[in-house]
Amino acid sequence: MSLSHYEQNRLSRIEASLCRSDPKLADMFGRLCVGQRMPAWEQAPSRLYQIRAAAALLAAAAARIW
């Protein structure tokens, strides 16, 4: 994911503020540990997934025509 300079700076300031205010809470929302995967609901669909979904829609539409 690509963030603008403004967005990245803003997130860094929020993170720093969180770490100063409550270190235990900051740990809960910290970085992923080595080998830990990001939860599925937080992942953006991949480009390949989007292409496959579009192909499936086109195939379904073509099947209705014939």
Instruction: Say how many residues make up the chain.
Output: 66
Contact 25, 18 (CB under 8 A): yes
More confident call, 44 vs 58: 58
Closest C-alpha to 19, from 11, 10, 27: 27
User: Could you read off the pLDDT of 40-55 as tens digits, one per residue?
Assistant: 777 777 788 888 888 9
φ and ψ at 29, to 5 degrees?
-105, 20
CA atoms 11, 17, 22, 27: torsion sign: positive
Residue 36: predicted pLDDT:
65
User: Could you read off the pLDDT of 15-47 as tens digits, one per residue?
Assistant: 788 777 877 766 666 665 556 677 777 777 778
Residue 17: predicted pLDDT:
82
- The C-alpha atoms of residue 49 and residue 64 are separated, in whole angstroms, by 23
pTM exceeds cut of 0.85 = no
pLDDT greater than 80 at residue 58: yes
